[in-house]
A and B are shown apart, each in its own frame.
Chain A
Amino acid sequence: MLSYETTKALIQIEAARDHNREVRETAQLLLTELDDAETGQRGYLITGKEPYLQPYNEATKAIRQTVRSLDRSIHSPFERQEMEQLKPLIAMKLAELQETIDLRRTKGFAAADQIVLSNRGKRAMDEIRKVIGAMIGREDVLLDQGRSAAQSSASRALIALAGGGLLSVGLLLFVFIVLTQEIRLRKRTEEALRESEERLLLVIEGVKGYAIFMLDPEGNVLTWNAGAERLKGYRADEIIGKHFSIFYTPEDAAAGKPAHELAAAEAESRTADEGWRVRKDGSRFWASVTITALRDDAGKLRGFSKITRDDTVRHGAEEAAKQASAALARRTAELEAANKELEAFTYSVSHDLRAPLRHVDGFSKLLLEENAASLSDEAKRYLGFVREGVIQMGRLVDDLLNLARVGRKELSVQVAGLNSLADEVMAELKHDCAARSIEWKVQPLPFVECDPALMKQVFANLLSNAVKYTRPRERAVIEVGTAQENGQAVVYVRDNGVGFNMKYADKLFGVFQRLHRSEDFEGTGVGLATVQRIIHKHGGRIWAKAALDQGATFYFTVGKAESRESKNEI
């Protein structure tokens, strides 16, 4: 029976220690609460502001509770005696606190201060501290004694174990000690866990931006937070127990999407999805959804958590951007197609127009040559006009053909010296107008990355224009050079010809736009349009400065300049 006695003693010792511990902690708490009450009182006395009374009110309420629970837990005569000392002291202290507060409120600071200065409250508090201090000190001693008693009791049990060979009892003892400790530990852990779970639930319930809820393994709603109510429109009591497929569009539900998503979450532990979902009122929103499978320690599926966010705005913006970009791509493709078609049409028309023109010209000419005798002078003059018209139209067709070709042509880019290109053009022009007095001034020009055949056309157009529009000048001056315009190197072609009024400058590069009468200066109005198209194809710009009768200067840029080509090279 030794074992039973020993065990019983141990249980008693442990119970006593639990009691000592409780008394000690409650006494300590009481002291803290008294301090809080005093702090609140002081704050109010000094400031006279009501908010300072809140900690005071809370503390006094707590003090009364703590006194009651301390009163309940004590049972030894010592403790009872101390408790009887403590009660009037606490009452005195609380009365003093309340009195000063009332005085401060009704008569002001000085009146309250009189009581404080009387040290009534301080003395009471000092006494309380003394009694509680003694109480705590004694409980500490008792706790120590209890520990030694438990140890010696256990030792005795071990001795009995060694002597009596009662293995089972020894084990029992050991298990008991371990268990009491374990139970205490677990109790604390469980409490902590429960508290943290409660806090988490509170947080989740309060979340408004996200619908967060749980489903059982079949997909029925188990929990419901504020966000879910806000997002989906159901109150918790309306939706809990209902199947979550109610949130899906009828199409998705019919296609089995809810079951499919649960299966995916179960298989991969988590699944994410975006799509339209339905609110209680039938309206739809674009949801961003995550479903996570919840399993217990054994791996058994216990349900799912589902987090849903309303992404309608973002989705709308994305869709709008997508649609805008698709529309733009479509429009670009349409424009490109239209452009190609237009160029193909221009080409075909120009091409097919040439044959009849050739016939009109050819047979007019033959008529003039072979039937000259039977034709009146007037008939000959008219035939002359016919041929002039044909030649003009032939040029027009050729220019249009060229413009269309430039538009369609892929640039074949290489580094070319602009001086060489200009020189080739000038050689032809000099040959054609040998009778005129033209001074050519050519500066060193850069090497540029360009399509040389097209760039030669630019010079051909600009220089032949310069030759044409300086025709009234006795001495024409045509310059080709480079200049800096807004920090950029530009090439220019300048003449001292008839120029033009700058108010028509915007018409300069338009197809069929002419600033001069054809009796004065022949032309088709396609040349500068072609030049501009070539420059634009090279990523450059072209513009002109002129004044009526003061000459004209055409400026253009082409890609990036490589270096200067020296006039004296080669």
Chain B
Amino acid sequence: MSEGDVQILLVEDNPRDVELTLHALRKEKLANNVEVARDGEEALDFLFCRGKYAGRNGKNQPRLVLLDLKLPKVDGLQVLREIKNQPSTQAIPVVILTSSREEKDMVSGYKLGVNAYIQKPVDFEQFREMIKEVGLFWLVVNQPPPLAAFQPK
């Protein structure tokens, strides 16, 4: 993976949340290669190299998708479904990051194969701590899926 490749795809429609999340990631020096998608459609365009991302190299998938659930156009669960349905994207770790702890959403998320489900805390300290732990775990501790994991069977 070359320098400049996107490491984290942050799918979040609220600009304040984007800013707070980026701030937290920046503090942990994890914010260099973050791409922000502001709705579900943009997220899917990025991952499947469509629309304004048509020129993107689909072989370089992000190492982590941080996915909000309440999204304009295509909602978070639908984005998750499409990611986990396609061989070219299904190995990408997806972490749902949402205000909701609605059981229905948690059940749907896990059934669709989400890798983690996190409720955003109100307390900024806790939020920052949470972002730090998630970033460190998926980008540093976790072994990323090998390229073969993105090939069709």
Contacts and interface: CB of A to CB of B under 8 A. Distances in A.
Is the pairing of A and B real? yes
Interface of A: 347, 351-352, 354-355, 357-359, 361-366, 390-391, 393-394, 397-398, 401, 405, 409
Contacts of B23: 362, 366
A354 to B, nearest CB: 5
B143 to A, nearest CB: 32
Given A359-B16, A359-B20, A391 B103 contact: no
Interface stretch (B29-37, B87-95, B107-115, B118-126): B118-126
B121 A358 contact: yes
Contact of B17 (A359, A401, A409): A359
Contacts of B99: 351-352, 354-355, 358
Interface of B: 14, 16-17, 20, 23, 99-103, 120-125, 127
A358 B103 contact: no
A363 B102 CA distance: 26
Q: Which 6 A-B pairs have the closest CB atoms?
A: A394-B122, A362-B124, A362-B20, A365-B124, A359-B16, A354-B99
A358 B127 contact: yes
A78 B60 CA distance: 148
A47 to B, nearest CB: 95
B100 A358 contact: no
Contacts of B123: 361, 391, 394
Most buried by B among A364, A394, A409: A394
Nearest to A358: B122
B144 to A, nearest CB: 29
Contacts of B121: 358, 394
B101 A397 contact: no
A357 B101 contact: no
Contacts of A401: 101
A479 to B, nearest CB: 33
Given A352-B99, A354-B99, 6 more contacts: A355-B99, A358-B99, A358-B120, A358-B122, A362-B127, A363-B16
A195 B118 CA distance: 97
A240 to B, nearest CB: 75
Contacts of B20: 358-359, 362-363, 366
7 contacts: A355-B120, A358-B99, A358-B122, A359-B20, A364-B124, A394-B122, A409-B103
Contacts of B120: 354-355, 358
Mostly helix, strand, loop or mixed at chain A's interface? helix
A355 B17 contact: yes
A398 B120 CA distance: 12
B124 A358 contact: yes
Contacts of A362: 16, 20, 23, 124, 127
Nearest to B99: A354
Contacts of A351: 99-100, 102
A170 B93 CA distance: 124
B129 to A, nearest CB: 12
Most buried by A among B102, B122, B125: B122
B101 A358 contact: no
B122 A357 contact: yes
A357 B99 CA distance: 11
A393 B122 CA distance: 9
A403 to B, nearest CB: 13
Contacts of B124: 358, 361-362, 364-366
Nearest to A408: B103
Nearest to B20: A362
Contacts of A393: 122
B4 to A, nearest CB: 27
A354 B121 CA distance: 8
A391 B122 CA distance: 7
A387 to B, nearest CB: 8
Contacts of B103: 405, 409
A210 B110 CA distance: 72
B125 A358 contact: no
A401 B119 CA distance: 13
A398 B100 CA distance: 11
A390 B100 contact: no
A397 B122 contact: yes
A357 B121 CA distance: 10
Contact of B122 (A352, A354, A405, A409): A354
A276 B100 CA distance: 59
Most buried by B among A347, A351, A355: A355
A175 B101 CA distance: 108
Contacts of B122: 354, 357-358, 361, 390-391, 393-394, 397-398
Contacts of A397: 122
B126 to A, nearest CB: 10
